[in-house]
Amino acid sequence: MIVRRLLAVLVVGAALVAALAYVDATEPGWYVRLRYPLHYDAIVRGHARNYRLDPALLAAVIYRESKFHVHARSSSGAIGLMQLLPATAKGIAIHTGGTRFQVSDLDDHEINVRYGAWYLRHLLDKYDDERTALAAYNAGQDNVDRWRAEGRGIAFAETRHYVKSVEHLRTLYRRAYHARLYGSS
């Protein structure tokens, strides 16, 4: 009797593990929406349109950087949804006509996404290649410029993983949130 119950529990457990593995591997829309949330979609759409970005790419960068946590902080000092360093954000503010930048501005989700979208567009324009722009977003322009001057690809394993992750997330966001990201405002 105990052996039968144990076998039944093992069979049910194995079936659940197999089902979860299947869902994780196939990533159906409902699962993607549950695992990878989308917040501030109107702001993402608006700044993507303003800076000529794919809204799914912008959402993917935000998720990868902060998982949409508006007050996220990194050990390197990056702040907010798009994990901008204060010095970078100050430069963006100057380039975009701002005159009174304060570090606390980066906790404002609209400002953070606006600055991050501007910066991503700047990197895309500079490198004319999405993978290289994403590498620069993660590892910094100085590192990417050095790698390119040396004729090398992305030298940091962490940055290679970052680029691959953002590209995968973009595909997921495009599929799972198509109407919210590409629909009318």
Alpha-carbon gap, residue 58 to 17, rounded angstroms: 33
Catalytic annotation on 110? Answer: no
Which residue in 65, 110, 130, 167 is the catalytic one? 65
State the virtual CA torsion across 160, 168, 47, 89 in degrees, nearest 10.
Answer: -20
User: What is the Cα 29 distance to its own chain's centre?
Assistant: 18
Cβ-based neighbours of 85, under 8 Å, separated by 6 or more: 76, 77, 78, 79
User: What is the Cα 20 distance to its own chain's centre?
Assistant: 24
The answer to whether 59 touches 38, Cβ cutoff 8 Å, is yes
84 - beta bridge partners? 79
* Residues with active-site annotation: 65
